[in-house]
Amino acid sequence: MHTVLVTGCAGFIGSHLCERLLADGFNVVGLDNFDPFYPRPSKERNLATLRNHARFAFHELDLRQGPTALQEAIGSTAIDVVVHLAAKAGVGPSVNSPVAYLDNNLLGTAHLLEWMRTQQVTRLLFASSSSVYGNTERRPFREDEQLQQACISPYATSKLAGEELTYTYHHLHGLSVLNTRFFTVYGPRQRPDLAIHKFARLLLAGKPIPVYGDGSTARDYTFVGDTVEGIVRGIQYLLTHPGCYETVNLGNNRPVALLELIEAIGQALQIQPQLEYQPMQAGDVDVTFADLTKAQTLLGYAPHTPLAEGLAQFVAWLRATPTEA
């Protein structure tokens, strides 16, 4: 029975992943620092179904505390695969707090990699982001795209630099690595700062929806269950391909324009949206669009959740959840 260490386990994607791994028979060790980017009670709710599971162990820890603190938390537990989801998230906020993003995301990743080196933990799935592509002209985005001068937000820069760090440890220390570039993940427990969650709350409150730009910007919205499936397949890939170093997109291969998204959320809530046009936000890209050829070839990854179905699941969760989530 394999043991997986999941950093950022109390977050949106992390909590879904831990539940899936436990259901699949893995042992799971979870780390989270309860970053105050959004309220702790929502993250505690994410952990509620995990805390009493016999094969789940939780440690509250900030990776910036260093490899020694991490080792003290993990102790003698043998880790087979690390899934590194922990990061300070959000493109827009990173523009206003670049140092905080680089500190959290790069230093935390460096400390984790050093711990893996000293403890001879050899397999890492690193959560990267579609934001690393910036406004790359070739679409859909392919993993072999040259990304020098592509990043247009500190968050994107921190993620691409994280990929470079994982390569350094692969090259120097033989670490097996799968970098996974996520594309706008949504679904139950989604962070409150992200568009779908934010727009739905505004609609329920009878407030207008801010439309940044002309509404033509588009995102490759990916349901969290599909993303988690891709991560689990990535873990299996790492377990069976020692010494690998690969980067794959985990998206949906169908960009949805902002105005189309707002209409779909309104339909899911049965509320007619009122729009309020505003200037484009700094750091935002025009389109995200994942080429999935490589993920399909290496992992057998094939997302299957239509937007309307995913939004219905999100709305059901939202209506049953307190407002501070």
pLDDT tens by residue, 36-51: 888 899 999 999 989 9
Mean per-residue pLDDT for 168-188? 98
For residue 191 the two structure tokens come to 């962070």
Q: Is residue 45 part of a domain?
A: yes
Length of the chain, in residues: 325
Q: What is the pLDDT of residue 106?
A: 97
d(CA 62, CA 78): 20
Indicate if 155 belongs to the active site: yes
In the predicted model, is pLDDT for residue 229 greater than 90?
yes
d(CA 308, CA 306): 6
> 106-142: per-residue pLDDT in tens?
999 999 999 999 999 999 999 999 999 999 889 999 9
Q: Is residue 63 part of a domain?
A: yes
Number of domain units in the chain: 1
Q: Is residue 258 part of a domain?
A: no
What CATH code is carried by the domain that includes residue 50? 3.40.50.720
Report which of residues 286 and 59 the model is more confident about.
59
Q: Is residue 284 part of a domain?
A: no
Q: Are 182 and 250 in contact (CB under 8 A)?
A: yes
Q: Are 290 and 140 in contact (CB under 8 A)?
A: yes
- pLDDT > 90 in the chain, percent: 87
For 128, the domain range is: 3-183+223-251+290-303
Q: Is residue 275 part of a domain?
A: no
Residue 133 identity (one-letter amino acid) = Y
Q: What is the pLDDT of residue 290?
A: 96
In the predicted model, is pLDDT for residue 324 greater than 60?
no
Q: What is the pLDDT of residue 325?
A: 43
Task: For the full predicted model, state whether its pTM sits above 0.85.
Answer: yes
Listed in sequence order, the residues at least 6 apart from 322 whose beta carbon sits closer than 8 Å to its beta carbon are 41
d(CA 23, CA 31): 19
Q: Are 156 and 182 in contact (CB under 8 A)?
A: no
Q: Across the strands, what pairs with 211?
A: 277
Listed in sequence order, the residues at least 6 apart from 75 whose beta carbon sits closer than 8 Å to its beta carbon are none
Given 101, 155, 221, 237, which residue is catalytic?
A: 155
Q: Is residue 277 part of a domain?
A: no
In the predicted model, is pLDDT for residue 155 greater than 90?
yes
Q: What is the pLDDT of residue 111?
A: 98
Average pLDDT for the chain: 95
Residue 69 has phi, psi (to 5 degrees) of -60, -40
**Torsional sign, CA 196, 198, 203, 209:** negative
Q: Is residue 294 part of a domain?
A: yes
Return the closest-CA partner of residue 91 out of 194, 218, 225.
Answer: 194
d(CA 143, CA 85): 19
d(CA 234, CA 112): 19
Q: Are 135 and 160 in contact (CB under 8 A)?
A: no
Q: Is residue 195 part of a domain?
A: no
HEC readout, the chain: CCEEEEECCCCHHHHHHHHHHHHCCCEEEEEECCCCCCCHHHHHHHHCCCCCCCCEEEEECCHHHCHHHHHHHHCCCCCCEEEECCCCCCHHHHHHCHHHHHHHHHHHHHHHHHHHHHHCCCEEEEEEEHHHHCCCCCCCECCCCCCCCCCCCHHHHHHHHHHHHHHHHHHHHCCEEEEEEECCEECCCCCCCCHHHHHHHHHHCCCCEEEECCCCCEECCEEHHHHHHHHHHHHHHHHHCCCCEEEEEECCCCCEEHHHHHHHHHHHHCCCCCEEEECCCCCCCCECCECCHHHHHHHCCCCCCCHHHHHHHHHHHHHCCCCCC
Residue with tokens 């827009």: 92
Q: What is the pLDDT of residue 281?
A: 79
